[in-house]
Amino acid sequence: GYVRLFRDLRSAPAWLPEDLYITRFADSTFRAVATSEEDVDVASASLPGGVIRTRGLTLWKQKDLAFRQGEGTKQNQVVYLGWKRQPGKPEPAAPVATWAVRLPQAPPAGWAPPGAGSLLVFSLADSGDDAPDPQQPGVKKKSDAEEEKEEKEREAREERDKKEGKEPLDLSIELADATGATVRLPLSRFRALPIPLKSRFTRLPDESDIYGDPWEPVMQTFELPLQAFAAAKPGFDPATVREIRFVFDRSPEGVVILDDVGFAEAGP
């Protein structure tokens, strides 16, 4: 039926013109692990007993997803994650930025744990923001000349992105099972993270301020088969996943918006 198309537009390429598409999908098999809706504590998970931890992030905050004008919200709590790699500092001096959620050893009553054929599901978007600099105790405040240089570099990067097209952000998804076995796969193996889609409402640039930012974050649903992780590492048991990690090891810097992390069952 059409469920497969709604789930992933790439399943019917002949039906749609070549373009950039962003899709959202959820069905009744979804079991939430972390949705940011339960409270204002960034370290708490939606799944009772779950715990969220991070390392190396330059931005970690929970907030309502806003519209492009900055007024009002979509009444959808999400988490913003930013990272900026420090050049010339190998681990452990500069650990790879990571966001992780630990599942409880004993799942709560009524919550079905994932099976070998389940999907890891989450929503993700590139916020389009610049990542903050890492906080380094004892480092002096930047001079005006240094800030001006960084501003020029940012403007040059934006101009280059306009001409050549922005490179999609990439990261890795790492799973750990009950035995401690881990397997890490790049997100781009499954699908690319869409770049911010900018729009222009008027012919005159000066009038564009009426509409706020030229884009607003739109979440893309990702569904990653657990079987792909099992195939990548013999001995890894996808039916006993204990930790889900988002490892920001592939793009040097960026800010992403994460929401609705959980599991679902693959359709027919």
* 109 against 82, higher pLDDT: 82
pLDDT above 90 as % of the chain? 49
Task: Give me the pLDDT at residue 132, please.
Answer: 92
* 242 against 14, higher pLDDT: 242
Residue 141 has pLDDT above 90, yes or no: no
Beta strands of the chain (E only): which ranges? 31-34, 51-55, 59-66, 73-84, 98-102, 118-126, 172-177, 182-186, 220-225, 241-247, 253-265
Q: In 3-state terms, the chain is what percent helix, strand and coil (to 5)?
A: 20, 30, 50
Lowest pLDDT segment from 103-107, 163-167, 218-222, 232-236: 163-167
Task: Give me the pLDDT at residue 95, please.
Answer: 82
Task: Give me the pLDDT at residue 10, please.
Answer: 81
Six-digit token pair at 33?
């692990």
Range 12-31 average pLDDT: 87
| Single pTM value for the model | 0.84
Q: What does pLDDT average to over the chain?
A: 85
Task: Give me the pLDDT at residue 137, please.
Answer: 45
Q: For 39-69, write each residue's pLDDT tens digit.
A: 888 888 999 999 999 999 999 999 988 777 6
Task: Give me the pLDDT at residue 139, please.
Answer: 42
> Can you list the alpha helix ranges (DSSP code H) found in the chain?
3-7, 144-164, 226-232
> Could you give all domains of the chain from N- to C-terminal order, each with its CATH number?
36-138+168-265 (2.60.120)
Range 234-244 average pLDDT: 94
Dihedral, CA atoms, 107, 125, 210, 158, nearest 10 degrees?
A: 150
Task: Give me the pLDDT at residue 55, please.
Answer: 95
Residue 165 has pLDDT above 90, yes or no: no
Task: Give me the pLDDT at residue 138, please.
Answer: 42
Q: For 11-21, write each residue's pLDDT tens digit.
A: 887 888 888 88
